[in-house]
Structure formats: structure tokens, C-alpha cells
Structure 1
């Protein structure tokens, strides 16, 4: 089991490093990173929150619809591990959610009702600045081990690298523009997923897979395909037809 986990960790970092080295779509890469967290850490789901230039947090990526809904609820209720992590700039580790209902009277019961029993969050850090937080959600009670804590922070650091290009790291205005561009891309992607899901009578996760497949097969960025669907330069029918030609969409 240990060798298998080590292999999954290596695969995850090789894939992420290859994406960074060869040119990447930040939103697509961060969705993959959220899924990688589930594959290599002792958690059931993961989500990434990013702050805009006013300090408001937004959901940028999630490993599942349940994780996305939990992250959204954090923002709506204004409480939870990712919010605390972002504002403090330090990790938050909660091995047992039922022991922190006083701390998060709305978030904790909601998360427990969704099937999660432990939650953790690590900051997306750029030197002394915190850009957002990576949320890690477990379905079993228990603390993260030291190796998982270090690995979780390493994955959060990869997310930061993906969001902020190295040559612009010293320019706060350029960094803010890049972060806002990532948030705008996420909005367009959510809209495109909704259009494809409606036209194709699919779930949103299936719609995401359809968009990603079209982008990869046509050597396009995921955000370019999403923008095309939203702007009607590319129809949902075209995207769906391509996916069905490759394999049935169920």
C-alpha cells in the first residue's frame, strides 16, 4: 500500500510539473490538482478558494460537487476552515467536526450532514501574502499525519505557482490582474458547463469532462473552449457531438 501511494504521489507531481513546464490552463490544472489531493492524501474531497482584489473568496476548483457545495456554503455562512485559514494565513486542522460546533455553528452541522467528519485547510501563499486556501475534507474522524500536512501544503504551493507566473511575482498589480483573470475564467467555465449540461441532459461533472475532452483533442485551453461556448462562437452541440464521436456520453 505504501509503494502504491508513493507511486500516486509521484504521478500527481509529474503531471502537474509537466503541465507547468509545457504551458497550461490554470483553471484546468487546479481542477486536476483538487482531484490529485484526493488521490494522494487521506481525504475524501478537496476544494480551492481564491480571493479577489477586495479580499472576497470564490470557489476556483473542487474534486466533486459535494466539495463545491461545501466550499460555497463556507462563503455563504462566512465561517469554516478555508475562511479561517485565509484570514489567518496559517493552516487549520480539525480531526473531528462534531467537536467544533461552537466554533462554526452553521458550517459544522452542514458539513456533517453532507457526510464529512473532519476538515482541514492550508494557505495558498505568495511570500507574506495569502491568496486563498486549499480545503481538505474527510469522511472519517482523525488527524492528518505530518507527511500529509507537508504534502497538502506542497500541493497548495503548486496551486500558487499555477496562479502567479514567476516573472510577475514581484509586481502586485500584475499579480492581482492574473488572479482576477483566473476567477473570470472560472465563471465562464461554470456557465459553459451549465449550457452543455442543459443541452446534453448531463450532470455538471459530465459536462466538465465533455468540455475538457474537446479542449485537449483540439489543442485548446479549457478556458478558451468555455469562452467559445458562452460567446456562442462554439455551440454546445458541436462539443457534445465530438465527445459522442469519441465515446458515448452517459
Structure 2
């Protein structure tokens, strides 16, 4: 996934060039060292960078089953995503099932529509949500939710950018599945689930040891992984085994 050097390069590029780099990144799913959790976490971060968006949660489906994997740009967004899976209710599920965007400009008004999802999203500090399917030519592989702290809808350029991100990710993931059809899809899903468990364990350990919030611990891990060209899963395993020690971030 994106290295620190590439991240730095993107920051200095004009917006249209930077978006081009992101789309290339999302299309690059056939490398031998492809890591699904790195990919989804990067997609969540790109979603959270859409103007007007506070956080992003990505839900991925098993090709032979339901939505089952959550990646997110923050802990609050992750909790909202997990809630959708637990209760099988919410905008990402609807976007995935219909292969169409779902827009809710006021979550308070959506309490009758989503009695489990809406209260959790509101309690997490979100007031509106836009969900986009990861869908290409009628094939859906997941969906992502763009969560807003303020009620209202995304403006047209922001919504178009979000739709483009979702489409690019869907094409990349479907292409990988087509080319790698001989691999066990169930095994791929289990690898992704195992990776998420490792990442969560390492994040919790780091948060406790350095007295950080889960969000701060994950940011520290992601920044270190990118700076040292490591996969998040590999870094998490090394942290849990005591092979790598991360310094506490500056509190200035």
C-alpha cells in the first residue's frame, strides 16, 4: 500500500494529480504482497478525506456470504460499522443490497428507519451519513459510509469524488478476485479476519502501554508502518512478540 514517500509526494501534488495517484493505488490489487486490511484501511482514510466528511467506515463482503469485515478511519466509525453488522441494519447494508447510494441528511429523523443504527451513530457524534456501494456492473463487494458531524448532504463535487473512490475500489477488488479465482475465497476472508484480530490486539496493547486512545494508537501504528514500508499485519505481529517497540508520540 502507500509508502511514506508516496504519501509525501501526494501531499505536494495538485488535487487532480493527487486523486489520480489514489485511484492508481486502489486499482493496484494484484501485487504479490497485497494485504486486504491495509487496502481497506487506506480506503477508509481516503473516504474520510472527502470534503465535508468526518469519518468513514468500510464494510466488505465474503463472495459466498454476507458483509463481515469492517475497516474505519476512527474508532467511533468502526463502532458504527460493527453495529450495522450486528443488527443487519443501516445505510451501508442498504447500499450494498441495492447497489445504489444511500443518503441520510439527518440521522435524528432516521430513528424509525434504523432503530438500532441511528442511535449508535448519533451517540458517536454523527448527524448525517452518505453510503456508497462498492459495486461495478451489478456486482457488489461491499460498501462504505461517509459520516458527517453536521446534518446536511455532501455537495456535488464531494459526492462525485466519493462515488469515484467506491467505483475504483470495487473494480480493483473484483479484478483481483477474477484473476485469483483459483485461490480459496473462504481462506482469503479468514486471513483478513485474522489480520484484523492481530491489529486490534496490537492497538489495544499499545494504547495501554503508552496511555493513548485507540485512535491515537492506531495512527501511531499506521504512520510507523508507512514510514518503514511494513504491512500493518506484520507490524502488529512484531509488536505483540516484542520485536518492535514504538516510542510515545509527542504530546506538545
Shorter-chain-normalised TM-score: which range? 0.7 to 0.9
In structure 1, distance between residues paired with 2:89 and 2:182:
28
Counterpart of 1:119 (choices 109, 125, 129) is 129
The yes-or-no answer on 1:60 pairing with 2:58 is: no
Matched-pair contact (CA < 8 Å) for 1:60–1:183: no
In structure 1, distance between residues paired with 2:182 and 2:127:
38
3-state DSSP class of the match of 1:120? strand
Aligned to 1:227: 237
In structure 1, distance between residues paired with 2:120 and 2:230:
38
What is the root-mean-square deviation of aligned Cα atoms in Å?
A: 3.1
In structure 2, distance between residues paired with 1:109 and 1:217:
38
User: How far off its partner does 1:56 sit?
Assistant: 3.5
In structure 2, distance between residues paired with 1:187 and 1:203:
18
| Pairing 1:1-250 to 2, within 5 Å after superposition | 7-8=14-15, 10-15=17-22, 17-18=24-25, 25-52=35-62, 55-161=65-171, 163=173, 166=176, 168-169=178-179, 171=181, 174-175=184-185, 177-230=187-240, 232=241, 234-235=242-243, 238-240=244-246, 243-244=247-248, 248=250
Identify if the C-alpha distance between structure 1 residues 205 and 18 changes in structure 2 by more than 3 Å, giving closer, same or farther: same
In structure 1, distance between residues paired with 2:90 and 2:139:
20
**TM, length-normalised to structure 2:** 0.77
User: Higher relative CO (CA 8 A, sep ≥ 6), structure 1 or 2?
Assistant: 2
User: How far off its partner does 1:83 sit?
Assistant: 1.6
Post-superposition CA distance 1:21-52 (Å, at most 9, x none): 58654423432332222222322111101123
Q: Which structure 1 residue ranges, 5 or more long, are not aligned?
A: 1-5
* Larger deviation, residues 159-168 vs 66-75: 159-168
3-state DSSP class of the match of 2:121? helix
In structure 2, distance between residues paired with 1:170 and 1:25:
14
**TM, length-normalised to structure 1:** 0.78
Matched-pair contact (CA < 8 Å) for 1:26–1:162: no
Number of corresponding residues: 237
Matched-pair contact (CA < 8 Å) for 2:110–2:118: yes
Matched-pair contact (CA < 8 Å) for 1:163–1:178: no
User: How far off its partner does 1:132 sit?
Assistant: 1.3
Matched-pair contact (CA < 8 Å) for 1:58–1:75: yes
More helix by share: 1
